[in-house]
């Protein structure tokens, strides 16, 4: 076992002139001061490694006792024979443009004062001697060894925490998606906190992953679906958003070493967007999957260079490959800097290929037959109503089989979690490491007779697991606060000590909740938005469905359409548990659900709910759709004292009377009209005095900013940008004239 005795043995085997530099106080010395010192493990460790049998299949490695302690299969890009220190031993210089490029890429980044924790500042201020560690070491010499051991142990606890983020693909929580993960539940959930109300701002892979990376709602990062046209890993995304993701800030501002392995964004690697040679800023080590999830026969970008994998389980099964790469990183990372790891597994995304040892598991499991299974969504949007009820027997058998296969793929993720936690524990890093586990979106299998997919606005598609363990988190906690994946970036930056006021993120830090603090001002609603994929053309196999449908099954049940565009506000407070959604396509449609009385969202109460509640929800939705940064974290309309929604009602009542006097009336849809009213009312609510129309137009222009570079803007009369363009032409005076007569006391 590689323990403290063996570490001391490896140090004492070095020449006396450099022995001190490998002492436990070496963490105080800058990496540059270490020079080109040869680092090697002890003879005992080498003998132990040689005594072990050669590594067999991934299955053998996963289930072999203490297999996580052994060096994993040698990666071609890692040279283990001549590396001078831990930090450079994982440099992929062979895969880059020579060793000089590798040294430049991994050059130590000076810490920004924005990222210094209080303990960092306190230690620097309290001990000027420690501020000059090299002088300190030379003065004390070898006689300081005994006392230094205790001092180093105490000071090492001041190092910034490490962070690990495990992201699965299409894993639900509504249908029991966490059930197969026994080890994960024991090692993360039972040792930390489970957020029972965690949501995604878009029920689709690419927009949701973009929200995790940027901490923004889709209307602010502009990734609207899984296509390049929808800004998924496009050049516009790379230029405008990637430099400001939280991993980029962790590396450049906080001095973290960062590691990514797995699925990035669905269109990553597309030739039109830089191919696999593009490595996003902020990543020290990059092992990204080309495009969408696969288990075999895929290509990885290894720090910008393509590497193909085949169909050999022991060498190529992606979930296990990600596990091996993660263990290699932990073994060869620098011990002088904190680290951030993001591991994005393919499971349980299609094509649902399980590891060989798990292909017979869950033979008697079927998709849950809950109350909304295989029923017609008669009072829902047209895309849901087109599903055929009841489903055919072959369709039910297909989704049952898919459900079992999804669970089987997750068993390899469970093994990955176990190995990762054990490795962190073996390296004595576990107590200083936060581990986050979540998914990019949920999934459905037969709900409202929709066979299998995501994309929809219902709980089964927008609710995800979120488990966290780490320093200061009490075990076995259930937190019912409303959270979203836009909170992950701010939380991780907060853990690193970064000043969140310097970001442009919409989310909130979960760190106070993780510590068990009670926050009475926490948010009561989140935004969910989606823009459909496809084009305005008919599917020749399903002509009866009309133009624009996509993701269709053989029986002409389709999961998406080009105009399947909606936005929802999900409200959860001590009094209310509601969801309000509007569709902005060829059919103006509203869906409202009371999830306390109707948790499966069977009955749309849009026509029966109290009109005042409807107006409040409408106002809040439109406000969130135009929000950015701190405005996205304002109190909801059901919080005490929040009544600016009445302004929107006032304008809507006067709409007909002023229709002829407002040039926008003939061309603006109800959606755009309401956006304009809401933006005007938001502007009015932050001012106690009457304002002129110039100020309002300036505000609306900022709200309705144009599409980012490289993205097509909306057509005439479409979307919020179209409304903003008309306002820029000076056609909003009538709305402001109405606003002048608005009295908030009415």
- Tens of pLDDT, residues 225-277: 999 999 999 999 999 999 999 999 999 999 999 999 999 999 999 999 999 99
pLDDT given for residue 642 in this prediction: 56
Q: Is 205 a catalytic residue?
A: yes
pLDDT given for residue 696 in this prediction: 40
Residue 203 to residue 564: CA distance in whole angstroms: 13
Confidence of residue 508 (pLDDT cuts 50, 70, 90): very high
- What is the sign of the dihedral through the CA atoms of 199, 212, 470 and 426? positive
Check residue 111 and report its DSSP letter.
P
Confidence of residue 549 (pLDDT cuts 50, 70, 90): confident
pLDDT given for residue 382 in this prediction: 85
Say what percent of the chain tops pLDDT 70: 63
Per-residue pLDDT, averaged over 452-459, amounts to 96
Per residue in 461-474, pLDDT (tens digit) is 999 999 999 999 99
Q: Which long-range contacts (CB under 8 A, 24 or more apart) does 88-94 make?
A: 89/39, 89/332, 90/285, 90/328, 90/329, 90/332, 90/333, 92/285, 92/302, 92/303
pLDDT given for residue 707 in this prediction: 38
pLDDT given for residue 64 in this prediction: 36
Confidence of residue 587 (pLDDT cuts 50, 70, 90): low
85 or 468, which is more confident? 468
What value does the CA radius of gyration of the chain take, rounded to a whole number of Å? 28
Confidence of residue 553 (pLDDT cuts 50, 70, 90): confident
Rounded to two decimals, what is the model's pTM?
Answer: 0.74
What are φ and ψ of residue 260, in 5° steps? -125, 135
Q: Give the residue from 490, 728, 701, 720 showing the smallest Cα distance to 624.
A: 720
First to last CA, the chain: 75
Per-residue pLDDT, averaged over 548-576, amounts to 84
pLDDT given for residue 89 in this prediction: 34
Residue 90 to residue 84: CA distance in whole angstroms: 11
Which one is catalytic: 205, 232, 627, 632?
205
Whether the per-residue pLDDT at 45 is higher than 60: the answer is no
Residue 446 to residue 147: CA distance in whole angstroms: 66
443 or 5, which is more confident? 443
Whether the per-residue pLDDT at 191 is higher than 60: the answer is yes
pLDDT given for residue 14 in this prediction: 38
Residue 637 to residue 582: CA distance in whole angstroms: 17
Per residue in 657-709, pLDDT (tens digit) is 443 443 333 333 444 444 444 444 544 443 333 333 333 434 444 433 443 34
pLDDT given for residue 366 in this prediction: 97
Most confident of 393-397, 644-648, 721-725: 393-397
Q: Give how far Cα 152 sits from Cα of 146, 155, 644, 685, 709, Å.
A: 10, 5, 57, 55, 51
Per-residue pLDDT, averaged over 29-57, amounts to 36
- Judged by average pLDDT, the poorest of 79-83, 162-166, 199-203, 651-655 is 79-83
Q: Give how far Cα 123 sits from Cα of 107, 135, 138, 160, Å.
A: 24, 17, 20, 13
Q: Give the residue from 464, 646, 644, 453 showing the smallest Cα distance to 549.
A: 453
Per residue in 91-105, pLDDT (tens digit) is 333 333 433 443 444
**Local structure of 240: helix, strand or coil:** helix
pLDDT given for residue 106 in this prediction: 42
């Amino acid at each position: 076992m590689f323990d403290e005795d063996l570490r001391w043995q490896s140090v004492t085997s070095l020449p006396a002139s450099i022995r001190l530099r490998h002492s436990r106080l070496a963490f105080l010395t800058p990496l540059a001061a270490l020079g080109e010192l040869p680092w090697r493990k002890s003879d005992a460790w080498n003998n132990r490694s040689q005594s072990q049998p050669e590594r067999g299949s991934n299955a053998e490695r996963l289930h072999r006792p203490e297999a996580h302690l052994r060096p994993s299969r040698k990666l071609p890009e890692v040279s283990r024979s001549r590396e001078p220190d831990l930090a450079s031993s994982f440099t992929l210089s062979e895969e880059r443009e020579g060793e000089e490029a590798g040294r430049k890429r991994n050059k130590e980044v000076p810490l920004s004062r924005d990222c210094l924790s209080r303990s960092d500042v306190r230690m620097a201020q309290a001990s000027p001697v420690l501020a000059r560690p090299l002088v300190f070491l030379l003065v004390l010499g070898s006689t300081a060894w005994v006392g230094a051991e205790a001092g180093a142990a105490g000071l090492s606890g001041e190092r910034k925490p490490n962070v690990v983020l495990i992201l699965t693909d299409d894993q639900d929580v509504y249908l029991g998606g966490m059930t197969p993960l026994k080890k994960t539940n024991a090692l993360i959930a039972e040792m930390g906190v489970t957020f029972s109300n965690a949501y995604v701002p878009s029920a689709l892979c690419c927009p949701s992953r973009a929200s995790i990376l940027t901490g923004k709602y889709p209307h602010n990062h502009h990734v609207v679906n899984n296509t390049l046209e929808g800004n998924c890993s496009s050049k516009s995304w790379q230029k405008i958003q990637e430099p400001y993701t939280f991993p980029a800030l962790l590396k450049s501002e906080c001095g973290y070493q960062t590691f990514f392995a797995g699925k990035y964004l669905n269109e990553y690697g597309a030739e039109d967007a830089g191919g696999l040679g593009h490595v996003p800023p902020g990543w020290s080590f990059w092992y990204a999957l080309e495009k969408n999830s696969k288990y075999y026969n895929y290509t990885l970008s290894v720090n910008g260079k393509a590497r193909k994998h085949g169909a050999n389980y022991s060498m190529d099964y992606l979930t296990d490959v990600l596990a091996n790469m993660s263990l290699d990183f932990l073994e060869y990372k620098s011990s002088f800097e904190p680290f951030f790891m993001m591991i994005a597994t393919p499971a349980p995304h299609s094509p649902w290929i399980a590891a060989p040892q798990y292909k017979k598991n869950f033979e008697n499991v079927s998709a849950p037959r809950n109350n909304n299974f295989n029923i017609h969504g008669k009072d829902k949007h047209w895309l849901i109503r087109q599903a055929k009820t009841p489903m055919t027997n072959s369709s039910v058998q297909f989704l049952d089989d898919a459900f079992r296969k999804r669970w089987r793929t997750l068993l390899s993720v469970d093994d990955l979690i176990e190995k990762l936690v054990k490795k962190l524990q073996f390296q004595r890093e576990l107590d200083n490491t936060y581990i986050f586990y979540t998914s990019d979106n949920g999934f459905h299998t037969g709900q409202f007779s929709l066979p299998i997919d995501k994309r929809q606005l219902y709980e089964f598609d927008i609710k995800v697991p979120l488990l966290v363990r780490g320093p200061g988190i009490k075990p076995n906690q259930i937190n019912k606060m409303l959270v979203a994946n836009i909170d992950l970036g701010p939380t991780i930056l907060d853990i690193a000590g970064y000043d969140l006021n310097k970001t442009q993120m919409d989310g909130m830090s979960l760190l106070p909740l993780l510590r068990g603090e009670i926050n009475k001002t926490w948010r009561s609603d989140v935004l969910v938005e989606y823009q459909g994929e496809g084009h305005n053309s008919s599917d020749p196999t399903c002509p009866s469905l009309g133009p624009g449908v996509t993701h269709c099954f053989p029986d002409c049940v389709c999961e998406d359409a080009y105009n399947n565009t909606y936005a929802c506000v999900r409200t959860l407070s001590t009094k209310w548990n509601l969801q309000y959604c509007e569709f902005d396509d060829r059919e103006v449609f509203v869906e409202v659900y009371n999830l306390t009385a109707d948790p499966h969202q069977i009955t749309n109460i849009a026509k029966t709910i109290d009109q005042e509640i409807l107006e409040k929800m409408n106002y809040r939705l439109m406000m969130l759709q135009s929000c950015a940064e701190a405005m996205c974290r304002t109190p909801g309309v059901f919080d005490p004292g929040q009544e600016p929604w009445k302004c929107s009602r006032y304008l809507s009542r006067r709409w007909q009377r002023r229709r002829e006097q407002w040039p926008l009336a003939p061309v603006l849809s109800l959606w755009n009209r309401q956006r304009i009213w809401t933006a005007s009312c938001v502007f009015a609510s932050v001012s106690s005095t009457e304002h002129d129309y110039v100020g309002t137009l300036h505000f609306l222009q900022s709200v309705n900013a144009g599409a980012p570079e490289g993205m097509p803007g909306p057509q005439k009369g479409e979307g919020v940008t179209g409304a903003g363009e008309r306002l820029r032409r000076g056609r909003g005076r009538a709305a402001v004239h109405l606003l002048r007569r608005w009295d908030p006391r009415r």
